[in-house]
C-alpha cells in the first residue's frame, strides 16, 4: 500500500473517532509527522494505532486510557523507537540557514556603508545574533507548520500552549545569548567592498549547496 493510501485510511479512521479521541489522535499524528521518523514507517505506525484506537473506542475505551494521558509524550516515546531519517538533511539545513542570513546581512551592510561610512564598524556579536536568530526562527516555523495529510504540503499551523512556549523560549534564549556576546565580542571594520565580496561568496555558496542532492 502506498503512503498516500495509508494517509487516506488514517484520515478515514480519524473521521470515525469521537471528539476527545480525535483531538488526542491529531496530536499524535502531528507529532510523529513532524519528527525525524521515516515517512513510510511513521504512516504504518499511525495506521496501526488508529485501527487500535478505533477498536478500543467501540468498546468504550478512550485514547488516554489506551495510550496514556499525554499524547505528545506518548508520540515522542514511540517515535524514538521507529526508523529515523538520516541527519544529513537537517545538518545541511542548519548550515544553509545561517549562511543565507549572513549573506543578506553582508549585502545590507555594504549598501548601508555606501550611504553612511560609520556603519562599516560592526560588532561580531551582531553577526552571531543574525545566525542564531535565523536558526531559532526556522526551528519555530518547523515546529508550528504541519504537512497537509492529503498532499504532503505545508498546512496552517496547529497551535498548542506547549509548542508556543517552546518556540518563544528558543527565541528568547537566542536573543539573550546574542546580547551577552555583544558585551564581549570585538567591533571590527568591514569596508563596503569587503561586505559585497562576502555577500557574493555567500550567495555563490548557497547555489552550490542547494544544487547538491
User: pLDDT tens for residues 85-131?
Assistant: 776 566 777 888 889 999 999 999 999 999 988 889 988 888 888 88
Predicted pLDDT of residue 163: 59
Q: Per this entry, what is the length of the chain?
A: 213
Pick from 136-140, 156-160, 199-203: least confident? 156-160
Task: Between 211 and 51, name the one with better pLDDT.
Answer: 51
Whether the per-residue pLDDT at 139 is higher than 80: the answer is: no
User: pLDDT tens for residues 142-172?
Assistant: 666 554 444 444 444 454 556 566 667 767 7
Predicted pLDDT of residue 91: 72
Task: Give me the half-sphere count of Cα atoms (radius 13 Å) on the Cβ side of residue 151.
Answer: 4
Predicted pLDDT of residue 130: 87
Dihedral-angle region of residue 68 (phi above 0 means left; psi in -120 to 50 means alpha; beta otherwise): left
Predicted pLDDT of residue 90: 66
Long-range contacts of 94-101 (CB under 8 A, 24+ apart): 94/135, 95/209, 96/206, 96/209, 96/210, 97/134, 97/135, 97/138, 98/130, 98/131, 98/132, 98/134, 98/135, 99/202, 99/205, 99/206, 99/209, 100/134, 100/202, 100/206, 101/130, 101/131, 101/133, 101/134
Whether the per-residue pLDDT at 26 is higher than 60: the answer is: yes
Q: Among residues 61, 64, 29, which one has the least CA distance to residue 47? A: 29
Predicted pLDDT of residue 132: 81
Domain ranges of the chain: 3-79, 88-211
User: pLDDT tens for residues 43-84?
Assistant: 999 999 999 999 999 999 999 999 999 999 999 999 999 988
Amino acid at each position: 500500500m502506498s503512503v498516500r493510501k495509508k494517509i487516506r485510511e488514517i484520515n478515514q479512521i480519524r473521521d470515525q473517532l469521537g471528539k476527545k479521541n480525535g483531538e488526542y489522535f491529531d496530536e499524535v499524528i502531528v507529532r510523529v509527522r513532524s519528527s525525524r521518523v521515516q515517512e513510510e514507517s511513521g504512516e504504518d505506525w499511525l495506521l496501526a494505532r488508529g485501527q487500535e484506537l478505533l477498536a478500543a473506542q467501540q468498546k468504550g475505551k478512550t485514547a488516554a486510557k489506551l495510550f496514556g494521558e499525554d499524547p505528545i509524550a506518548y508520540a515522542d516515546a514511540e517515535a524514538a523507537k521507529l526508523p529515523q531519517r538520516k541527519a544529513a538533511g537537517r545538518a545541511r539545513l542548519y548550515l544553509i540557514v545561517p549562511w543565507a542570513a549572513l549573506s543578506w546581512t553582508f549585502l545590507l551592510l555594504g549598501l548601508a556603508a555606501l550611504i553612511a561610512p560609520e556603519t562599516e564598524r560592526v560588532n561580531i556579536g551582531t553577526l552571531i545574533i543574525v545566525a542564531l536568530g535565523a536558526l531559532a526562527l526556522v526551528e519555530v516555523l518547523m515546529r508550528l507548520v504541519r504537512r497537509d495529510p492529503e498532499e504532503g504540503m505545508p498546512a496552517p499551523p496547529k497551535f498548542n500552549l506547549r509548542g508556543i512556549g517552546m518556540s518563544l523560549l528558543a527565541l528568547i534564549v537566542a536573543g539573550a545569548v546574542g546580547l551577552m556576546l555583544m558585551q564581549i565580542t570585538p567591533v571590527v571594520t568591514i569596508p563596503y567592498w569587503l561586505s559585497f565580496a562576502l555577500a557574493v561568496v555567500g550567495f555563490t555558496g548557497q547555489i552550490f549547496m542547494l544544487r547538491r542532492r
